Structure 1
Amino acid sequence: MRAAEILERLVAFPSVVGTSNTALMDYVAHYLSEHGARVTRVVGPEGDRENLFATIGDPSLPGYILSGHVDVVPAQEPGWLGDPFVLRRDGARLIGRGACDMKGFDAAVLAAVPELAAMPLRAPVHIALSYDEEAGCRGVRHLLAKLPELCAAPLGCIVGEPSGLVPVLAHKGKAALRLVATGVSGHSSRPDLGQNAIHALAPALCAAVALAESLKSGPQDARFAPAHSTVQIGTVAGGQALNIIPDRAEACIEARAICGVDPRQILAPLAGIGGLDAEWLSDYPALALDADHPLTALATEISGHAPLQAVSYGTEAGLFQQAGVPAIVCGPGDIARAHKPEEYLTEPELAGATEMVLALGRRLC
């Protein structure tokens, strides 16, 4: 089956982050099993979402993982010119939610499976598909916990996030924190009889702004733009009306950390502010692969592109690295198209990704 046809099938599953992906995984598992792959489905604690791990070749030998996520962000923007979950062709563009981020890579990998299965592989090729990546890489953690049961220690992992098929060696880590202040409501004419939750939250907001400023003179890594770790207050909510004392207020704050810095540790002082409830929403570590690592050379060879030192977005690659699996980012498309109306991948980009996967297979023969 051609990669574009598989992409059409994948896009048709509305696997929005935080919702069930069982039907999509049924399709993928059936397809892989038909071609002789060993398939394991790792259901998450939510019960309606799962990861999938498949192996082509001997799982007792060290091999390589091709990793992608199957969840997509919601598609409710008004700029769509058609149903986001029906793949449309406009010239060379294949348009649909997730076409670029990152069902295109998933489709390219699946399209290569019949040829991979026919190759005399000396090392296995593994396929890892995860859920809820868009919610802070939640699903892949459960897959990584079971990885030692599924295969020999892998030699490396290629995470196919959109990079123009250019291998990426590093990205920042991220942590997200929600702070909630609870007050006592009442009429604004008698603030002395209530407790203003927004006022209670304000010191934490000021502390976050000061923290963001202080990071500018902190540790630097010239591979990134900006070259330092960052903090941002992303959302603030609270209050019902101007003449009502707000009884609840919350802020969501994120840190993005350069390699070697723990993003949770950056936000830890905010999480410890008294009188506020703190909830960690998500976190993942930075990625840092040496330019002289064998995986860098392999990715350069099979992609046909010299590696890029770093990107500003984050991926599951840092979690693979944290689990002891060397990881690199390399996938089709442009991240600038992701999370936008009329998201697309071109047919040449899809074909290039399929060829990269097949080049990996030939390299392992």
Structure 2
Amino acid sequence: MIAMTAEQILEKLVGFPSVVGTPNHVIVGWIADYLQRAGAKVIVLTGPEGDRANLFATIGPADRPGYLLSGHMDVVAATEPGWTSDPFRLQRNGTQLAGRGTSDMKGFLACALAALPAIAGRLLARPLHLAFSYDEEAGCRGVPHLIAKLPDLCAKPQGCIIGEPSGMRAIRAHKGKAAARIVLGGRAGHSSRPDLGLNAIHAMVDILGEAVMTAEHLTAGPFDTNFEPPYSSLQIGTIRGGQAVNVIPEECTVELEARAIAGVDPAGLLAGIKGRLEALKAKGFATHWESMSSYPALSLAADAPLALLLEELTGQIPLAAVSYGTEAGLYQATGMEAIICGPGDIGRAHKANEFIEDSELSACVRMIEALGERLAR
């Protein structure tokens, strides 16, 4: 195949508007074709939605423990004001390459694809796998379906590198997260006769109070000083309800989230709130609980083999922790070591004129090629 640079591949990937929650067969098809031409064994894993898929590829002997490079193909919508160019067309500005997903995280995908042909040309003693997911931006919804298939796809990898933007410095930990949407259904009526209705906003006060009390209790610990703040947290993010001041509100919706330090189940932090919701059924309210996202924390020891490997590959001691979440905790939950390391900066993500530097792409390609050299030994 004709070799493509990371920039050329990134230009193609940015050109696919693979916005979270939308069909992604076009970008999956292009990546699958590229990988097959590079000599990889490729499997497309369609998700239960039917219109989007994960992708898994292997170079080398799949029946031996190797390493896995993980990334997501989806991006957030480019609706922010301030874009100075088409967000789905790569734009060069000096050493910067701008476009939606350049940092988060099509830059990493481009580097992995650019490095693969050289790696495929080696006789690998251990395999390199690529695992590209969908709908990560909706709370890591796509990758669990891929992870469930891993035992059928390859021997358990020795480690997984999640290429979220980290400035090419590895990161050993992040908090876990659980988010939920709560809907309360009451009974509408004129505000002059509250005795004939069921006020959904009034009833939601029980839920809100439990959430605020839980959030306050979490500040007392347990603690992990690698994080800021060093404790688990909970917050109410949105609330909607009511039509007019003189109408008893028939419905109220709240969205909230919990973020948990390692060793704390994020979904468990919402248990008391869910209990309050169930109690409202006895008062005649219709209740609905929808899990929006859930993933565990990542916690990798400083002396773990994968942490030491990334220190060698990048020349930098891994950072202890970051505040944002990734798919890494889900991979670690299967029993394999996982770590974050990728080009770009999370501070540029989800913003107008998102960009990545030439030097970041080059450093990532070098890291992946160096990993390939180790797999050939």
Give TM class, smaller chain.
over 0.9
The secondary structure found in structure 1 opposite 2:27 is helix
Alignment of 1:172-191 (within 5 A): 172-191=175-194
TM-score (normalised: structure 2): 0.95
Aligned AA (2:299) = A
Alignment of 1:266-345 (within 5 A): 266-273=269-276, 274-275=279-280, 276-345=287-356
1:252 aligns with 2:255: yes
1:15 aligns with 2:26: no
Aligned to 2:72: 69
Q: Tell me by how many angstroms 1:171 deviates.
A: 0.5
Q: Tell me by how many angstroms 1:271 deviates.
A: 1.1
Aligned AA (1:165) = M
Q: Tell me by how many angstroms 1:323 deviates.
A: 1.3
Aligned to 1:349: 360
Aligned to 2:133: 130
Aligned AA (2:50) = G
Quote the Cα distance in structure 2 between the aligned partners of 1:101 and 1:135. 14
Quote the Cα distance in structure 2 between the aligned partners of 1:300 and 1:332. 15
Residue of structure 1 aligned with 2:243, choices 235, 240, 243: 240
Q: Tell me by how many angstroms 1:245 deviates.
A: 1.4
Aligned AA (1:241) = A
Query: Percent identity, aligned pairs only?
Result: 58
Quote the Cα distance in structure 1 between the aligned partners of 2:327 and 2:65. 20
Residue of structure 1 aligned with 2:117, choices 114, 118, 129: 114
Quote the Cα distance in structure 2 between the aligned partners of 1:189 and 1:73. 45
Q: Tell me by how many angstroms 1:188 deviates.
A: 2.1
Q: Tell me by how many angstroms 1:184 deviates.
A: 1.2
Residue of structure 1 aligned with 2:167, choices 155, 164, 167: 164
Quote the Cα distance in structure 2 between the aligned partners of 1:25 and 1:86. 18
Residue of structure 1 aligned with 2:229, choices 226, 237, 241: 226
The secondary structure found in structure 2 opposite 1:19 is coil
Q: Tell me by how many angstroms 1:187 deviates.
A: 2.0
Deviation sequence 1:194-224 (CA, Å, 0-9, x none): 2111111011111111110110002000110
Aligned AA (2:43) = T
Structure 1 stretches lacking a partner, 5+ long? none
1:140 aligns with 2:143: yes
Quote the Cα distance in structure 2 between the aligned partners of 1:213 and 1:179. 20
Aligned to 2:214: 211
The secondary structure found in structure 2 opposite 1:30 is helix
Quote the Cα distance in structure 1 between the aligned partners of 2:333 and 2:100. 30
Deviation sequence 1:76-128 (CA, Å, 0-9, x none): 11121121111111111111111110000000000001111112222111011
Could you tell me whether the CA contact under 8 Å between 1:177 and 1:271 is conserved in 2? no
Aligned AA (1:74) = A
Quote the Cα distance in structure 2 between the aligned partners of 1:98 and 1:291. 30
Aligned AA (2:82) = G
Aligned to 2:105: 102
The secondary structure found in structure 2 opposite 1:272 is helix
Q: Tell me by how many angstroms 1:137 deviates.
A: 0.7
Quote the Cα distance in structure 2 between the aligned partners of 1:344 and 1:241. 44
RMSD after superposition? 0.9
The secondary structure found in structure 1 opposite 2:69 is strand
TM-score (normalised: structure 1): 0.98
Aligned AA (1:41) = V
Give structure 1 regions of 4+ aligned residues with deviation exceeding 6 angstroms. Answer: none
Q: Tell me by how many angstroms 1:305 deviates.
A: 1.4
Q: Tell me by how many angstroms 1:193 deviates.
A: 2.2
Quote the Cα distance in structure 2 between the aligned partners of 1:338 and 1:242. 40
Quote the Cα distance in structure 1 between the aligned partners of 2:153 and 2:296. 23
Quote the Cα distance in structure 1 between the aligned partners of 2:95 and 2:244. 51
Residue of structure 2 aligned with 1:35, choices 31, 34, 38: 38
Quote the Cα distance in structure 2 between the aligned partners of 1:207 and 1:200. 12
Residue of structure 1 aligned with 2:205, choices 199, 202, 207: 202
Aligned to 2:268: 265
Quote the Cα distance in structure 1 between the aligned partners of 2:32 and 2:12. 13
Aligned AA (1:153) = K
Quote the Cα distance in structure 2 between the aligned partners of 1:36 and 1:120. 12
Aligned to 2:82: 79
Quote the Cα distance in structure 2 between the aligned partners of 1:232 and 1:246. 23
Aligned AA (1:76) = T
The secondary structure found in structure 2 opposite 1:81 is coil
Q: Tell me by how many angstroms 1:279 deviates.
A: 1.7
Bigger drift between 212-221 and 234-243 goes to: 234-243
Q: Aligned residues, how many?
A: 365
